[in-house]
Amino acid sequence: MSENNLIAISGGIGGAKLCYGLDQILQPGQLRVIANTGDDFLYLGFYISPDIDTLIYTLAEVNNKETGWGREDETWKTHNVLGELGADNWFKLGDKDLALHLHRSKALRNGETLTSITQDIAERFKLKTVILPMSDHIIQTVVDTDEGSMPFQEYFVKESTNPKVREISFESKHPETTKEVLEAINDPGLTGFLIAPSNPYLSVDPILSIDKIKQTIMQSKKPRVAVSPIIGGNSVKGPTAKIMEEMGLEVSVMTIANHYENLIDGLIIDNADEEYIQAIESSGIKVKVSNILMHDNDDKTRLAEEAIEFLNELS
């Protein structure tokens, strides 16, 4: 694996699992993850960046293994006192997690960029993978539902994804990426791009909503592979299938292939979806079939190895 330089495009929990597998088998600096920041929001006056934090905690092996978000061995004193005070506490911030939000918010107030403070935090956690926020500007995922339009975390956590989704949009005064992301995606030494099995509509599309990122990946000569977030007509994790149904889409790997059409050369699907191989391949996308459910760390490294092999086959 020593000659591979990868870019992963990832949201939070599902994507972080594959990034963990990649991080285990690649050398320091060989993996750069472009992370979704469409979920970021101001809460209790702090800047919260959930997908970046999930990536950092997962790669540093300090993540909460049950929830997938937040830290392990967490305490909830501040969260509980906020409840006693009648303050907002619908978004659960553990005490250790809160320290990171305090630290990052102060850095941002002092004029640091999200990219530089993320790099600093990643170094403190001794990560060998580089985590690159998709932008240093606010690009907010807004979910239009049958109960009105709301920012991502209100839909996802406060409303527990119950409202029916009609449309998803990305609002920004500066829908621009960073020079660090541009350098990474234009790196001549790149092996290829890997779209993690994150929610295509809520976690990957915010990244692709930045025209420069989407165009550069579309025009790249390097191979591009996605791992399906759908297995056997259902979500691997989270509300992907529910959202697809609500938006009138068939819940299948074919819909995922169509969604990423013109952007990927290959799609990794689960054994359960073998019946779709021919249909996907006739749309010009090569298919690799595997066991893509990641239960444990062995699954994560095996899938990461297979994804790298597939990228090399396609190059």
* Chain residues in the site for ligand FO1 (CB under 6 A): 11-13, 39, 50-51, 53-54, 69-70, 91-93, 97, 153, 156-157, 203
Nearer to ligand FO1, 156 or 260 (CB): 156
Nearer to ligand FO1, 41 or 260 (CB): 41
- Min dist. Cβ of residue 184 to ligand FO1 (A): 21
Give the per-residue SS3 of the chain. CCCCCEEEEECCHHHHHHHHHHHHHCCCCCEEEEECCCCCEEECCEEECHHHHHHHHHHCCCECCCCCCCECCCCCHHHHHHHHCCCCCCCCCCHHHHHHHHHHHHHHHCCCCHHHHHHHHHHHCCCCCEEEECCCCCCEEEEEECCEEEEHHHHHHHCCCCCCEEEEEEECCCCCCCHHHHHHHCCCCCCEEEECCCCHHHHHHHHHCCHHHHHHHHHCCCCEEEECCEECCEECCCCHHHHHHHCCCCCCHHHHHHHCCCCCCEEEEEHHHHHHHHHHHCCCCEEEEECCCCCCHHHHHHHHHHHHHHHHHHC
- Min dist. Cβ of residue 137 to ligand FO1 (A): 18
Q: Which two tokens stand for residue 26?
A: 């690649």
Nearer to ligand FO1, 154 or 180 (CB): 154
- Min dist. Cβ of residue 247 to ligand FO1 (A): 18
- Min dist. Cβ of residue 160 to ligand FO1 (A): 8
Nearer to ligand FO1, 63 or 115 (CB): 63
Nearer to ligand FO1, 16 or 254 (CB): 16
Could you give the CA distance from residue 140 to residue 149 in angstroms, rounded to a whole number?
12
- Min dist. Cβ of residue 48 to ligand FO1 (A): 6
- Min dist. Cβ of residue 150 to ligand FO1 (A): 13
Nearer to ligand FO1, 92 or 259 (CB): 92
- Min dist. Cβ of residue 240 to ligand FO1 (A): 11
Question: Which position's Cβ is nearest ligand FO1?
Answer: 12
Nearer to ligand FO1, 44 or 247 (CB): 44
